[in-house]
Structure 1
Amino acid sequence: MTAQLNPRGDVAVLVPAAGAGVRLGPGGPKALRLLGGEPLLVHVVRRVATAPSVHTVVVAAPATEV
């Protein structure tokens, strides 16, 4: 079975951003680490949101980090 893109824009994407990023070393959660001056999470959400099939993006993150 192969995945097919849905051109109607009714796809929801869950972005998990709840990890502590401890394997990355000190500096806070990986999703909030800066890449090119912006948090990694921002890069991910922007990229996912540009897909024509994506209607909703949900970020799962700890309430203390939102």
Structure 2
Amino acid sequence: MAIIAEEGVVRVTASLSRAQEQALKELAAKHKVSVAWLVRYAVDQLVEQGREAQLPLDFARRR
């Protein structure tokens, strides 16, 4: 689901495992950034990698 939060910004909902949530919280605290910032950073990295090469996506693990 995506919701337009403001002009040019879209809010997206994703489900994470508890382990993923905890890992993100720990990384955010370690680097003094928000979990939202880390998610945006990760999306930017994935988009950039996807432009340059085939991603090693394991669709068997998709949930």
Determine if the TM-score, normalized by the shorter chain, exceeds 0.5: no
Structure with a larger share of its residues in helix = 2
TM-score when normalising by structure 2: 0.28
Larger RCO (CA under 8 A, 6+ residues apart): 1
Structure with a larger share of its residues in strand = 1
